[in-house]
């Protein structure tokens, strides 16, 4: 049978093989349909021929290899034939291996002690305890404390007896006053400067000599001066702050001289 299709309506047609190459009419629309040749028809193709594979070459016969005999291990005798018999005694543990005694160690030769030969340099005799205690007690610290106290008293006495009078102080302040800066401004600046120096010195003495403590002391001094100028101290405040400044200067000078004297005395005693 030849299978074809009508180009007018798409109807599929089946015709006999003798109609190959001829024209037929479509029973559906009546259009002429050209029947294709038998070779181009949709007939089933010829089944492919079976291809026999070439015969395989003969394989060599495997040679028999001898294996070494394996010793058979006898299974350990079980204490009980029933594996769920938990009351059966446990199997005995194997005996421990024999302990071998270590081989005797040969004696090691040792060097003979050195002969008692007199040394040229001998260690110095230890100093007596009294001399060591006397050396440990330095006089720098106590003399510095006494010197600070004496310097504070001496500074106050000197500023009271030999210090300038109030008239001379006011006259000096008038010379420093210029324009809008009055005597009260100058007096307040001096009072703030002395107060800032005292507080800054106390901060350095308590915290210790470090960069941060010195910077804090400088800031306190500047702030004291600015605050004193703005505040404008009265006439009676300056003499009391001068006494404090003299006492502080006497403490510093007396402590330095007392410490130096203590070091010199300790050095001469040793």
Alpha-carbon distance 211 to 126, whole Å? 43
Assigned domain for 245 exists:
yes
Return the minimum-mean-pLDDT range out of 29-33, 124-128, 150-154, 160-164.
124-128
**27 and 144 housed in the same domain:** no
> pLDDT tens digits for 57-68?
667 665 655 665
Q: What is the pLDDT of residue 61?
A: 61
- Stronger pLDDT, 196 or 40, i.e. the higher one: 196
Does the pLDDT of residue 109 top 80, yes or no? no
Instruction: List all residues 6 or more positions away from 212 whose beta carbon is below 8 Å from its beta carbon.
Output: none
Q: Give the integer Cα–Cα distance in Å for 105 and 125.
A: 47
Residue 31: pLDDT band (50, 70, 90) is: confident
Q: Which tens digit of pLDDT belongs to each residue from 74-108?
A: 555 554 556 565 666 666 667 777 777 776 666 66
In a domain, 81, yes or no: no
Q: Are residues 142 and 258 in the same domain?
A: yes
Eight-state DSSP code of residue 17? G
More confident residue, 166 or 224: 224
Instruction: Using pLDDT thresholds of 50, 70 and 90, give the confidence band for residue 51.
Output: low
* Phi, psi for residue 12 in degrees, rounded to 5: -85, 135
Q: Is residue 102 part of a domain?
A: no
pLDDT in tens, 252-267: 888 889 888 888 888 8
> In terms of domains, do 143 and 263 share one?
yes
Asked whether residue 202 is assigned to any structural domain, the reply reads yes
When the pLDDT of each residue in the chain is averaged and rounded to a whole number, the result is 75
pLDDT at 24 over 90: no
Q: What is the total count of domains within the chain?
A: 2
Global confidence as pTM: 0.42
Q: Measured between alpha carbons, how far is residue 69 from residues 63, 66, 72 in Å?
A: 18, 9, 9
Residue 198 lies in a domain: yes
| 88 found inside a domain | no
Other CB atoms within a 10 A radius of the CB of residue 199 amount to 16
Q: What pLDDT was estimated at residue 14? A: 81
DSSP string, 230-260: HH---TTHHHHHHHHHHHHHHHHHHHHHHHH
The domain in which residue 152 lies consists of: 137-269
CA-angle at 234, arms to 230 and 240, nearest 5°: 110
Residue 16 maps to a domain: yes
Domain membership of residue 177 (yes or no) is yes
């Amino acid at each position: 049978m030849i299978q074809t299709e009508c180009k007018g309506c798409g109807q599929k047609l089946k015709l006999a093989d003798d109609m190959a190459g001829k024209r037929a009419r479509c029973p559906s629309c009546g259009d002429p349909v050209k029947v294709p040749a038998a070779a181009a028809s949709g007939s089933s193709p010829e089944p492919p021929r079976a291809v026999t594979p070439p015969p395989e070459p003969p394989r060599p016969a495997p040679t028999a290899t001898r294996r070494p005999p394996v010793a058979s291990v006898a299974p350990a005798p079980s204490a009980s034939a029933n594996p769920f018999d938990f009351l059966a005694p446990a199997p005995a543990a194997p005996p421990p291996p024999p302990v071998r005694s270590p081989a005797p160690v040969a004696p090691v030769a040792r060097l003979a002690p050195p002969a008692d030969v007199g040394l040229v340099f001998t260690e110095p005799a230890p100093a007596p305890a009294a001399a060591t205690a006397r050396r440990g007690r330095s006089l720098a610290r106590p003399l510095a404390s006494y010197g600070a106290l004496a310097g504070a008293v001496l500074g106050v006495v000197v500023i009271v007896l030999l210090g300038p009078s109030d008239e001379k102080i006011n006259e000096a302040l008038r010379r420093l006053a210029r324009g809008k800066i009055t005597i009260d401004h100058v007096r307040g600046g001096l009072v703030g400067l002395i107060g800032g120096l005292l507080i800054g010195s106390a901060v350095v003495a308590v915290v210790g000599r470090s960069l941060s403590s010195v910077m804090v002391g400088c800031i306190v001094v500047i702030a004291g001066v600015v605050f004193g100028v703005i505040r404008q101290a009265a006439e009676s405040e300056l003499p009391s702050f001068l006494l404090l400044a003299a006492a502080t200067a006497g403490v510093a000078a007396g402590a330095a001289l007392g410490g130096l004297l203590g070091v010199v005395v300790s050095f001469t005693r040793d």
